[in-house]
Structure 1
């Protein structure tokens, strides 16, 4: 009688290490996308504020597309369209590009709201003291506007970190993709997803706690 061949195996310590490495990949792609997207979004927000109707007719519709179209569709379309125009990008690079633009589209309105949060009389007072436009932006608008929109930006950052799981559709082995691989092999979805959720919590909680403490410090 021949032995039965088993295609499944139980959860092992090495699988926990595999999930940990995938969590680091999630953190890496999220950190790059959030950083670059926030900087780009700040520029877009400034353009929307200063550009008036010109930016409303040109830049705003483009940003609306990236905010409105589901992220998974953007990822799949870009990953398959990029080679047609000569961009041979791997799943990681494609994910960073789309997540960066997606983050920038979300941050743009946040940044514009931060600029608008500074009352015009305060800006006129800064200019009357001899400040240049860029000195006014740096010493008046940035400190006040940042405090006004910081909670909204934290919400965007945490959302993008969770949305980075969608890059798994391109084959990038981040936390969700690693979880799917292990679930297929171990047939233990509850255990795997619980551990994956714990990793997501470990990535997000320090950011939210630090943001809360920073807000308290600013309020004093």
Structure 2
């Protein structure tokens, strides 16, 4: 009985630091996954737009799988089957790999929508001015299409940041896993989950506010 009592302890300031460190791990996981996934997603979106039939038969079904299968299943399957093919990745990198592919699959449709948002007359006008295909993509399609789909990309980024909590099923101590550990020790779920929610809000709110300011600036 004494051992049971000594195992549980009250919430202390050190636990706040523990949650803060876990929040930084969540942020780092999200930044890597979103940045690399966005770059890949833009490439995939361009391929879907330019490849048409070929991309629809090859790339599109693969992206649909990653968009459709629940993320937690993807994480568990990859983490358990990767060693079979010689990929001995720890929980952090396993989570980053799957979150990156998942982000790329979501961003691909967003990027394709951005490219298709630029009308053909405008693109023909750019080419008639002597622009090459890549100059047209850089100076016309990217600025106009990027602004059109920017809110959708922000939604994807915020969603992936929240979905990064699922990496906890692999044993990686990010914010959700740290909360579970503290709840088990302190038996104060309301306090711990409230603090975890506050940390998630602190990570997400600056992104949404900065995105809103950019949209207002572009609208002027």
Q: Normalized against structure 1, the TM-score is what? A: 0.98
Q: Which whole-Å CA distance do the structure 1 matches of 2:52 and 2:85 have between them?
A: 33
Q: Which runs of 4+ in 1 moved over 2 A?
A: none
Matched, 1:113 2:105: no
Partner of 2:141: 141
Q: Give the RMSD, CA atoms, in angstroms.
A: 0.6
Q: Which whole-Å CA distance do the structure 2 matches of 1:20 and 1:93 have between them?
A: 20
Deviations along 1:22-72, whole A, 9 cap, x unmatched? 000000000000000000000000000000000000000000000000000
Q: Which whole-Å CA distance do the structure 1 matches of 2:65 and 2:10 have between them?
A: 44
| Structure 1, unaligned runs of 5 or more | none
Please report how far the alpha carbon of residue 215 of structure 1 lies from its aligned counterpart in structure 2 after TM superposition. Answer: 0.3
Partner of 2:214: 214
Q: Normalized against structure 2, the TM-score is what? A: 0.98
Matched, 1:176 2:169: no
Deviations along 1:52-100, whole A, 9 cap, x unmatched? 0000000000000000000000000000000000000000000000000
SS in 2 for 1:130: coil
Partner of 1:46: 46
Deviations along 1:172-193, whole A, 9 cap, x unmatched? 0000000000000000000000
Partner of 2:122: 122
Partner of 1:4: 2
Please report how far the alpha carbon of residue 4 of structure 1 lies from its aligned counterpart in structure 2 after TM superposition. Answer: 2.5
Matched, 1:70 2:70: yes
Q: Which whole-Å CA distance do the structure 1 matches of 2:196 and 2:184 have between them?
A: 15
